[in-house]
Amino acid sequence: MHEYELIEGYTLEIISRAQSTQRRCKILLSRNFASKAPRNLASVLIDICILLENACRSIFKSIDWQDKNTKTQESFIILQITDFIVREIGSHISYIDEAQTQKLPWSFIQPVQKLAKALLPGVQIMLTPQWEYNYTILTTNLYDVYSNYLSRFVNYVSGTNLEEILAPLGKSFHIVSFPSIERNNVLLHCIMGHEIGHLASKKYFTEQRKQILLQSIRDNVASIVEKKVKKVAP
């Protein structure tokens, strides 16, 4: 019974965290943004949290309390990972918060997004300031990240359409950050072109080039693995 109460308490804690993320996103939706991208991200985060909240309830209900070992343990691991995802998703709210109009070079946002759209059709770019004195781009596609995080939860909530939840992100969503102290320095912002270029450069890593790269590292990796195996083998 003690175990039941502990896991129940933990489940409620995850649900409450997911609800808090939803609330914060809803508040942010009422703010001003220079483009649609932050709003799209906020609405996706809300839907993700609703899915995780429902999944949490379903996972808790599916726990087999008769089996005190493996099954309870594995179900608890699934809850822990759900909690991990809720926290990760929650940390992405700061991107939306920072993307409010007054914190950005607002007149510059639309032209940069138009440029990105012309160079990379179907790619959505969101601009945010950062404290670090550098320009950076999140080359990882957020659509793929969320899709990977959530695909296993579809089993727990019937009727879930993951593509519908992630649709506002388009097929590709990336975040470009710039040093907040240089917000109004338009001459420095040409570096954003370099950052967007990171996405364009991906096209040049063709299958043939991948094969050459793999060939060049194979021997080195094999020798490292062999050394490790020699250590382990009796």
Answer yes or no: are the C-beta atoms of 96 and 21 closer than 8 Å: no
Rounded Cα–Cα distance for residues 54 and 60 (Å): 10
Kindly tell me which of 97 and 144 has the beta carbon lying closer to other proteins.
144
Which contiguous run of DSSP H or E holds residue 172?
Answer: strand 172-179
Rounded Cα–Cα distance for residues 153 and 156 (Å): 5
Q: How far is the CB of 195 from other proteins (least distance, A)?
A: 11
Rounded Cα–Cα distance for residues 142 and 146 (Å): 6
The number of beta carbons lying within 10 Å of the beta carbon of residue 110 is: 11
Beta strands in 38-170 (DSSP E): 123-130, 136-137
CA dist list (Å): 47 to 34, 86, 202: 22, 12, 30
Q: Which two tokens stand for residue 40?
A: 């799209």
Kindly tell me which of 107 and 202 has the beta carbon lying closer to other proteins.
202
Binder among 117, 171, 209, 218 for other proteins (CB under 8 A): 218
Query: Binding marks (x or -) toward other proteins, 95..134, rule CB under 8 A?
Result: -------------------------------------xxx
Kindly tell me which of 100 and 136 has the beta carbon lying closer to other proteins.
136
Q: Which two tokens stand for residue 230?
A: 């020699």
Under the binding rule (CB under 8 A), the answer on residue 185 touching other proteins is no
Under the binding rule (CB under 8 A), the answer on residue 3 touching other proteins is no
Under the binding rule (CB under 8 A), the answer on residue 182 touching other proteins is no
Under the binding rule (CB under 8 A), the answer on residue 173 touching other proteins is no
Under the binding rule (CB under 8 A), the answer on residue 234 touching other proteins is yes
How far apart, in Å, do the first and last CA atoms of the chain sit?
45
Single-letter amino acid code for the residue at 216: S
Kindly tell me which of 119 and 222 has the beta carbon lying closer to other proteins.
222
Closest among 87, 108, 109 to 39, alpha carbons compared: 109
Under the binding rule (CB under 8 A), the answer on residue 81 touching other proteins is yes
Kindly tell me which of 110 and 155 has the beta carbon lying closer to other proteins.
155
Under the binding rule (CB under 8 A), the answer on residue 228 touching other proteins is yes
Binder among 15, 48, 85, 176 for other proteins (CB under 8 A): 85
Under the binding rule (CB under 8 A), the answer on residue 211 touching other proteins is yes
| Total site size for other proteins, rule CB under 8 A | 40
Rounded Cα–Cα distance for residues 83 and 14 (Å): 6
Answer yes or no: are the C-beta atoms of 135 and 195 closer than 8 Å: yes
Under the binding rule (CB under 8 A), the answer on residue 27 touching other proteins is no
Residues that bind other proteins (CB under 8 A): 67, 70-71, 74-75, 77-78, 81, 84-85, 88, 132-134, 136, 138, 140-141, 144-146, 148-149, 151-153, 155, 210-211, 214, 218, 221-222, 225-226, 228-229, 232-234
